[in-house]
Amino acid sequence: MDPIPSPPTTQQPQRARSMLAQLAHAAGILFILTLLTGVAYPLAITGIVRVTFPSASRGSLVVEGNKAIASRLIGQSFEDPKYFWGRLSATTPAPYNAQNSAGSNLGPTNPDLRKNAEARIAALRASDPDNHAAVPVDLVTASASGLDPHISPAAAEYQIARVARMRGLSPERVRELVRAHTEGRGFGVLGEARVNVVLLNLALDGMK
């Protein structure tokens, strides 16, 4: 027990105000903070990045002539053996629908996950019957966004012989092009090395 009596409080608390007064304060604060964080802030950021990162802030588009022909960041569906194929895409109604990004959300024990992998393996083998290598896992699984533009260097290596044959190019030539479209880990440690399938296929089409 403390024998010394408590000193009188020095702070005069505000009496509980009426609900109405609180409502007026709440609405006022929300309105002003909306102007600041919901209007001024996004507009200011837009204004700055328009100048500093004009391409990156508007979709990282690949422009040919005056027209956008692709985005560096958004994958596309490839099924023709002359192209490198990318990840499976679970977007609807069509794969790589960039208006409705989505993963498959198939659980690890869902039989459909295995069926999709089997179908992909069959398609890859049908287009390249002499290739008996095991298929890199990123080629038989759906990406999280359904828009992944990348595959692993292993998945590109797996497809080099097929693409070279279909295009009448030497595998070395194709491998060189793959290397040119491969990015390493960020600062050597962040994330993973990857090959941009869209840019690689555009470059293949552009080869004479």
Partner 1 sequence: MSLHGLVQIALFFGAVFATTKPLGAYMARVFAREATFAGRVLGPLERLVYRAARIDHRAEMTWKTYALAALTFNLVGIVALYTLQRMQGILPGNPQAMGAVPPDLAWNTAISFVTNTDWQAYSGEATMSYFVQAAGLTVQNFVSAATGIAAAIALIRSFSRRNSQSIGNFWFDLVRATLFVLLPLACVVALVLASQGVVQTWDPYVTIPLVESTKDASGNTVAHQILALGPAASQIAIKHLGTNGGGFFNANSAHPFENPTPLSNFVEMWAIFAIPSALCFAFGKMVGDARQGWAVLAAMTVLFVPMIALCTLSEQAGNPALRNLPVDDVQSLLSAGGNMEGKEVRFGISASALFATVTTAASCGAVNAMHDSLTPLGGLVPMGLMQLGEVVFGGVGSGLYGILVFAIIAVFVGGLMVGRTPEYLGKKIESFEMKMASLVILIPASVVLVGTAVAVVTAAGQKGIANPGAHGFSEVLYAFSSAANNNGSAFAGLSVNSVFYNIATGLAMLIGRFGVMVPVLAIAGSLAKKKLVPPSLGTLPTHTLLFVTMLVGVIVLVGALTFIPALALGPIVEQIASSKS
Q: Which of 51, 66, 119, 121 is the binder for partner 1 (CB under 8 A)? A: 121
d(CA 112, CA 201): 29
Q: Which residue in 123, 180, 192, 207 binds partner 1 (CB under 8 A)?
A: 192
Least distance CB 84 / partner 1 (angstroms): 11
Residues 191, 95, 58: CA angle, nearest 5 degrees: 60
Q: What is the C-alpha to C-alpha distance for residues 97 and 120, in angstroms, rounded to an integer?
A: 19
What are the backbone angles phi and psi of residue 193, rounded to the nearest 5°?
Answer: -70, 150
Closest distance of CB 87 from partner 1, Å: 7
Q: Does 79 sit near partner 1 (CB under 8 A)? A: yes
Closest CA to 169 of 201, 208, 139: 208
**Looking at 39, 119, 123, 180, which residue binds partner 1 (CB under 8 A)?**
39
Asked if residue 176 binds partner 1 (CB under 8 A), the reply is no
Decide: helix, strand or coil at residue 181: coil
Binding partner 1 (rule: CB under 8 A), the pick from 66, 114, 159, 176 is 114
Footprint of partner 1 on 86-105 (CB under 8 A): 87, 92-105
117 touching partner 1, by CB under 8 A: yes
* Torsion angle defined by CA atoms of residues 94, 178, 64 and 198, in that order, rounded to the nearest 10 degrees: 10
Q: Least distance to partner 1 from the beta carbon of 57, Å? A: 4
Number of shown-chain residues binding partner 1 (CB under 8 A):
124
